Homo-oligomer: A and B are copies of this chain.
Amino acid sequence: MAGSWREIRDEIARRIAAREWRAGAAIPGEAALAVEFGAARATVNRALQDLARAGLVERRRRAGSRVAAQPVREARFVIPLVRQEIEAQGRSYGYALLSREEIAAPEAVRARLGLQAGAPMLFLRCLHTADGAPYQLERRWISLDAVPEARDENFAAAGPNEWLVENAPFSTATFSFFAARAGEEERELLGLSEGEPVFVAERLTHIGDKAVTLVRLAHPSSHRMVTRI
């Protein structure tokens, strides 16, 4: 009889886990569940929407809800600022700007950002450290068409990411994670030996349909990206 949507959600999840409701099978309609749980339909609706978001059930108008045949579970990663990521581990964060240049972007970068040839860009190289040890090497391109104010920033004291989140909120971002051989620069700056890989996170950010920034974040192979669902 408990009428909280979380309790209803958990009870339905329990029935699915206990296989009282089999994979692919239909679930009673919202109206029927509302009667069973002694709740309003809107409450049952909320519970089911949450389960659908989690991938446990599939819902279609007219067809009703079913237990997902092959639950597409999804993992959620929080994308914190490096500073927060490091300080959350109780380590001390350090930042160094290695270089700052205003130059025409290489063709590959220009194309990925969808910019005209010769579009003005800012190129930054930064090193982020944890307890003094190299943690992340950042190579960043910023479109000065999209964020002209970046021209007046020297980024000496704080990383471009912290400045960007406050000064150029983005609407969409594309993340890409992969493993790569460490390049010479990465070996040197991250203190890696020959043949060691790096874990790379790339992020391409847009505001509306205007590209703002492309960044490549390289970590030593001891880095772990972890999440729980």
Report A's interface with B, CB cutoff 8 A. Answer: 13, 16-17, 19, 23, 70-81, 84, 162, 165-166, 169, 171-181, 195-200, 207, 219, 221, 223-229
Contacts and interface: CB of A to CB of B under 8 A. Distances in A.
Given A75-B79, A175-B229, A181-B195, 17 more contacts: A17-B169, A23-B166, A74-B77, A77-B77, A172-B229, A175-B228, A176-B224, A177-B177, A178-B221, A179-B198, A179-B221, A181-B196, A181-B221, A195-B195, A197-B197, A197-B198, A197-B221
A150 to B, nearest CB: 16
A71 B219 CA distance: 23
Listed residue (A84, A162, A173) with the most chain B CB atoms within 10 angstroms of its CB:
A173
A176 B225 contact: yes
B226 A197 contact: no
Contacts of A84: 70, 72
A71 B19 contact: no
B72 A78 contact: yes
Nearest to A208: B17
